[in-house]
Structure 1
Amino acid sequence: MITNDFWLERWQAGRIGFHQEGVNPKLMDYWPILAKQSKVLVPLCGKTNDMIWLAEQGYQVTGVELSSLAIIEFIGDNDLTYETHQQGSLKIHKVNELSIRLIEGDYFAFNEQNFDACYDRAALVAMPEPLRKKYVQHTLQRLTDKAFLLLITLQYQGDKKGPPFSVGAEEVIQLWGNQIKKLASENLMETNPDYRDGSYTSFEESVWHIDQN
């Protein structure tokens, strides 16, 4: 079973192959124009610079991350300053230069609501199968009824197993409901040489959204 300690150890050991430098091109391609100051939730955010991009578009960004090391590296890598206060079991780190808050702690202990949008690049695929339904339900409870969701998933076959885990299209629809729609898919074995080492027979990355406006 994948536990919190598993992820903390991965960060401590620097085994963070899931981290992407720069801003994810699919975020820039598929994120809609939302009202300025919209509240955007980024579950299991790590130290992704996608949060910088979202904040620069004029949104209020809240990333939730278990690892204090990930948060420290995000702040240090981007030369940011911050203020921190404790809220129950969570630490709230408020960045001074941008409209970004980093919530340090277990995502399932984070109970704020009324987010206008959610960006999930690496959260659902980090969840082992027994936790996925709980994760989706918890996330939906954080969002408004009209919230926008941008979700990126992986579906693959081969010798390597997750995390990140393979989550097929049928499971995505079963978890999120019929309102979720696929926007695009990319065969990473054709476009990225890192996936041609013989570990996989197929590797597809898909972009999904829920747009209820």
Structure 2
Amino acid sequence: MITNEFWLERWRSNGIDFHMEGVNPKLVNYWPSLPKGSRVLVPLCGKSNDLIWLAEQGYEVTGVELSSLAVIQFLGDNDFTFETHQEGDLKVHKVHDLPLRVVEGDYFQFTESGFDACYDRAAMVAMPASRRKEYVTHTLGLLSSSASILLISLRYDGDKQGPPFSVDETELSDLWGPGMQKIAVENLVQTTEEYKALGHHLFEESVWRLQH
């Protein structure tokens, strides 16, 4: 059972192989052109440097992360000065000198809405099938009706059980709606030896975008 405690323990034990150092090239290559000042939501953001890249483009960036350890590492590793205040059960850390804040707490308790865009690098694929619809419904409820979405998904063969979970394309389209278009795909078995060593013939990372 994938619970909040499961993720907190992954961070405590440094079992964070999902964390990517540097900025994700797929974000840089495929992020849609949006007006400066657009409000961008990054669910389950961990300590990703993608947050910084988005803020440096001039967007108002809000990351949401359950693990206080991840938040502390993100703020500390980047030597950010910041201020913190409480909003209900959530802690909001506002970074100085960048249009960036990290909301610490359960994503499903975060209810601020009207975001202009969403970037999902490893959030949907962190959700077991039993919670995926809830995650997508909650996320769409936080976005404006004309919001853009950039999502990176995974599909793989073999006996591996996630997270990250394998999500087939039909389910992804059913969850997010027909506007989501696949714009790039890469079979990581062909480029990264570790996936082949694990016995995969297919470990496909795909990029999806919804843009109005």
Which interval holds the TM-score relative to the shorter structure? Answer: over 0.9
Match of 2:158 in 1: 158
Q: So what's the TM-score if we normalise by structure 2?
A: 0.98
Q: Deviations over 1:71-117 (max 9, x none)?
A: 00001111111100000010000001211110000000000000000
Distance 1:198 1:39 in 2: 39
Task: Give the SS at the match of 2:29.
Answer: helix
Partner of 2:92: 92
**TM-score, with length taken from structure 1:** 0.98
Structure-2 separation of matches of 1:187 and 1:158 = 14
Unaligned runs of 5+ residues in structure 1 are: none
The CA deviation string for residues 6-31 of structure 1, in whole angstroms up to 9 with x for no partner, is 00000000000000000000000000
- Specify the alignment match of 1:6 in structure 2: 6
Residue of structure 2 in register with 1:57 after alignment: 57
Secondary structure of the structure 2 residue equivalent to 1:2? coil
Q: Secondary structure at the match of 2:197?
A: coil
Residue pair 2:32, 2:211 contacting (<8 A) in 1 also: no
Q: Number of paired residues?
A: 212
Looking at structure 1, the residues matched to 168 and 121 of structure 2 have their Cα atoms a distance apart, in angstroms, of 15
Match in the other structure for 2:189? 189
- Report the CA distance between 1:63 and its aligned residue: 0.1
Secondary structure (helix, strand or coil) at the match of 1:83 reads strand
Shift of 1:122: 0.4
Contact residue 181 and residue 208 of structure 2 kept, 8 A = yes
AA partner of residue 41 (structure 1): L
Moved over 3 A (4+): none
% identical equivalent positions: 63
1:20-31 correspondence to structure 2 within 5 Å: 20-31=20-31
CA shift for structure 1 position 136: 0.4
Deviations 1:116-136 (A, max 9, x none): 000000000000001000000
Cα distance in 2 between the residues matched to 1:51 and 1:76: 14
Tell me the equivalent position of 1:130: 130
1:98 and 1:69 mapped to 2: Cα distance?
21
CA distance in 2, matches of 1:172, 1:32: 20
Structure-2 separation of matches of 1:81 and 1:69: 17
Unaligned runs of at least 5 residues, structure 2 = none
- Between the aligned partners of 2:210 and 2:202, the Cα distance in structure 1 is 26
8 Å Cα contact 2:189/2:196 also seen in 1: yes
Letter in structure 2 aligned against 1:98? L
Q: Deviations over 1:40-63 (max 9, x none)?
A: 000000000000000000000000
Whether the aligned pair in 1 keeps the contact of 2:31 and 2:150 (CA below 8 Å) is yes
Paired AA for residue 175 in structure 1: L
Q: Tell me the equivalent position of 1:117.
A: 117
SS in 2 for 1:118: strand
Q: Distance in 2 between matches of 1:169 and 1:83?
A: 41
- SS of the residue corresponding to residue 125 of structure 1 reads helix
Cα deviation digits, residues 161-203 of structure 1 (max 9, x gap): 1000000100100100111110010000001122121332310
RMSD of the TM alignment (CA)? Answer: 0.7
Q: Does 1:71 align with 2:86?
A: no
Look up the equivalent residue of 1:107 and give its one-letter code: Y
Instruction: State the secondary structure of the residue aligned to 2:92.
Output: strand
